[in-house]
């Protein structure tokens, strides 16, 4: 049945178009395929303002050619798939019903879903589901810089990077123009895989040696010098920190609210219809 879906979509799209019609003698036809006509007035919505006459002609010709090909495909499909007509009818009916129902659900969710998520909501969800958030790779808090080996003020940049004083870090950030690459916010968690992408040379190091708290790494290649300061590490299978998974938690909370909202609406709809005797189950 799934193999019929592409044909179903083709049929629905073609049958819903306003140019899929039999000949009207009061209209000016511009193309015909068997007993189906495309009219001049059906072309009015395809034009963009500002098109030249030449571009408009090309656009019309392309539109007509595509329409002809669609009609020919539809005619061939109707002949060769005649035995599956009843299947198509059922699928079209089911497809239309699902479109209506899903569109209604989306409208209801958009109007009534509570999108406000407080820190308390996040804390509650994290505390209740923390064991489900185990890491599948290592996380690190770090800062790093990449500079040219021949940089004139290289020693000053290195001193600023190694310093733990805030004023030195601020000074280093203001000298960003001298840095080929940098990450100076060591208060956020970063995936180890992302660190490897930023500093590929670190792949040559033993991972256990690299992932040590307060570890300082100084590496260089033919052109650049890399400085990395590891502030903290979380290993695989440890519980992910709340700050790291907050975006995911928000999405999960909204999903739960959406499911509960739709459930409540269905129950209310059923109860209301039952009270009004709008349905019976025999």
Question: Are residues 199 and 72 both part of a single domain?
Answer: no
Question: Are residues 218 and 248 both part of a single domain?
Answer: no
**CB-based burial of residue 144 (10 Å sphere; 0-12 exposed, 13-18 middle, 19+ buried)?**
buried
In this predicted structure, what is the pLDDT of residue 7?
A: 47
pTM of the model: 0.67
Residue 196's CATH number: 3.10.50
- Determine, yes or no, domain membership for 100: no
Structural domain including 270 reads 119-130+240-275
Question: Are residues 124 and 140 both part of a single domain?
Answer: no
- Determine, yes or no, domain membership for 93: no
Question: Are residues 209 and 184 both part of a single domain?
Answer: yes
Distance of alpha carbon 139 from alpha carbon 136, whole angstroms: 9
Candidates 230, 227, 231, 214; CA nearest to 179 is 227
Question: Are residues 247 and 123 both part of a single domain?
Answer: yes
Question: Are residues 211 and 165 both part of a single domain?
Answer: yes
Question: Are residues 253 and 230 both part of a single domain?
Answer: no
Distance of alpha carbon 27 from alpha carbon 19, whole angstroms: 12
Distance of alpha carbon 20 from alpha carbon 37, whole angstroms: 7
Q: Which of 6-10, 57-61, 134-138, 276-280 is predicted most confidently?
A: 134-138
Question: Are residues 228 and 139 both part of a single domain?
Answer: yes
- Determine, yes or no, domain membership for 98: no
- Determine, yes or no, domain membership for 94: no
- Determine, yes or no, domain membership for 28: yes
In this predicted structure, what is the pLDDT of residue 59?
A: 87
Candidates 147, 134, 138, 135; CA nearest to 210 is 138
> At 139, is the pLDDT very low, low, confident or very high (cuts 50, 70, 90)?
very high
Question: Are residues 54 and 177 both part of a single domain?
Answer: no
Question: Are residues 124 and 168 both part of a single domain?
Answer: no
Flag whether pLDDT at 2 surpasses 70: no
Flag whether pLDDT at 17 surpasses 80: no
């Amino acid at each position: 049945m799934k193999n019929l879906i592409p044909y179903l979509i083709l049929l629905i799209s073609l049958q819903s178009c306003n140019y899929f019609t039999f000949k009207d003698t009061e209209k000016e036809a511009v193309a015909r395929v068997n007993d189906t006509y495309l009219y001049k007035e059906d072309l009015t919505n395809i034009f963009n303002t500002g098109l030249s006459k030449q571009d408009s002609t090309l656009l019309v010709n392309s539109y007509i050619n595509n329409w002809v090909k669609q009609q020919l495909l539809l005619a061939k499909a109707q002949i060769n798939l005649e035995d599956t007509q009843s299947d198509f009818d059922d699928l079209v009916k089911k497809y239309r019903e699902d479109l209506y129902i899903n569109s209604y659900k989306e409208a209801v969710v958009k109007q009534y879903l509570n999108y406000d998520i407080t820190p308390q909501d996040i804390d509650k969800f994290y505390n209740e589901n923390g064991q489900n958030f185990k890491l599948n790779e290592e996380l690190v808090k770090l800062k790093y810089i990449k500079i040219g080996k021949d940089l004139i003020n290289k020693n000053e940049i290195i001193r600023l990077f190694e310093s733990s004083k805030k004023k030195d870090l601020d000074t280093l950030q203001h000298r960003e123009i001298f840095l080929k690459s940098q990450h100076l916010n060591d208060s956020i968690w970063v995936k180890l895989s992302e660190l490897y992408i930023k500093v590929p040379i670190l792949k040559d190091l033993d991972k256990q040696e690299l992932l040590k708290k307060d570890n300082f790494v100084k590496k260089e290649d033919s052109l650049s010098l890399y400085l990395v300061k590891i502030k903290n590490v979380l290993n695989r299978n440890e519980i992910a920190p709340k700050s790291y998974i907050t975006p995911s938690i928000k999405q999960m909370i909204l999903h739960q609210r959406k499911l509960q909202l739709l459930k409540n609406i269905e129950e209310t709809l059923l109860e209301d219809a039952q009270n009004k005797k709008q349905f019976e189950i025999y």
